[in-house]
Amino acid sequence: MPFPVINVIDLSGSPTPLPDLGVTVPASGSIALTPNNKQFEILNDDALLDALEAGNVALEVDGVTLSSTQSSSYLSPDLSSVPALGNFGASSDPGSGDDAVAGYSVGSRWVNTTTGAQFVCVDATASAAVWVGTGVFPSSSTDNAVVRFDGVSGSNLQGSAVSISDTGDVDTSGLYQIGSVRANDGVTAYDAIGGSTFGAGPATLVLDTTSVTSSLFSLASNELTVSVTGRYQVSYSVSLQGTTSSRSQIETWLERDTVEVGGSRGEVYIRNATSGASASAFLVLDVVAGEAFRLRAQRLAGSNVSAQTANGVRLTFVRMT
C-alpha cells in the first residue's frame, strides 16, 4: 500500500520552515511532502509537529484537508484508547472477567509478576473469558539440570538436583528409584559382637546386624538374602584376630546359595595371639531375587584358632540397576 499524498497548508499567513524535511511552507500557501520525503522523516519532524500543535499549519491527506487538531492526531495518534493486547504487570492470575469488555482479545497475554506465571487468552467472551497458562519459569537455571513440573497444572516448570552431562552421564545427589525400589539402595550386614572362633574346617562367619532397614535385603542365620533382581556392587571385609601363639594362613570368600562366587577370594596371615589381619574383595554381580549370600573362611596352614573382630566382619550390597 503506497504512502498517502501529504500536503502542508499554511494557516498563519507567514512562512513556516521545516528544516528537518528541508522545505518551507510558503505564507498562505502549501507544499507537498510526498513522494519526496519518506514516512519516518515526516513523522519525526519536530518543527512540523510543533507547527501543527500551535495551529500554524494543517495537513491535506490524499485530497482531504484536516483541521489542525486532526492533523496532529494523524501524525501523533492518542494510543490510550487502543485496547491493550496484554497485561504484563499483573499481581494475580487472570479470570473470566478479564474479557473483551475489559479490552482483551484472543491472543492477549498476561503475566503475573508475583509468581512468574504466564497466560494467553483463548476466549474473550464477556464474563466468560478463558485464559490458559503457558508456564512459570525460574529466573535462572543450572547448566544441564533436568527440568521438572511444579504442581499439577502441567504448565509450571522448575529445576532439579538431577543433571545430564553433554556426554549423557546422569548425576544426582539424592536417591533415585526404579519402580517401587530405590535404585541406589543398599545395606551392610556385619558382626557387631565379635569373638566367634574357627579352626581348620571351613566356617561360616557371623553376620548378626544390618546398618539400615531396607526392603531389598533380609538377614537371617548369617546369610543376607536379596529380594529384588538387579545388578549390585558387592564388597566384604574380614578382620580376624589370633588366639594362640602359633601362625596361620587363612582364606576368605563369598558364597551365593552355598556356591563360591568367582573372584571373591581373600587371604589373612596371623602371626600370634596379639596380631590380627584382614582381607577384602569388591565385585559387581547380577543377582536374582531370593539368592542368599554368606561369608566363609578356612585355615589353610598353621594351627592358630582365629576369632572375628567386633564390627570387623562386614558384607555390603548396593543396588546399581
pLDDT in tens, the chain (321 residues): 455 677 888 898 999 888 877 888 899 888 887 655 555 566 667 888 888 888 888 888 767 787 767 776 666 655 444 445 688 889 999 999 998 888 888 888 888 888 888 888 888 889 998 887 776 767 678 898 888 888 776 667 788 888 888 888 888 766 666 555 555 689 999 999 999 998 888 999 999 999 998 888 999 999 999 999 999 999 999 999 999 888 899 999 999 999 999 999 999 999 888 888 999 999 999 999 999 999 999 999 999 899 999 999 999 999 987
CATH number 3.40.630.10 is the correct assignment for the domain at 181-319: no
- CB 102 within 8 Å of CB 82: no
Answer for the pair 201, 211: CB distance below 8 angstroms, yes or no. Answer: no
Residue with cell 573382630: 309
* Backbone dihedral region for residue 262 (phi beyond 0: left; psi -120 to 50: alpha; all else: beta): beta
Provide the 3-class DSSP secondary structure of residue 73. helix
Element (H, E) at 53: helix 46-54
In the chain, % helix, strand, coil (3-state, to 5) comes to 10, 45, 45
In the structure grid, which three cell numbers stand for residue 179, read together? 519402580
The pTM is what?
0.49
User: Domain locations in the chain?
Assistant: 6-79, 86-136, 181-319
Give one DSSP letter per residue of 212-229, joined into a string.
Answer: S--TTEEEETTEEEE-S-
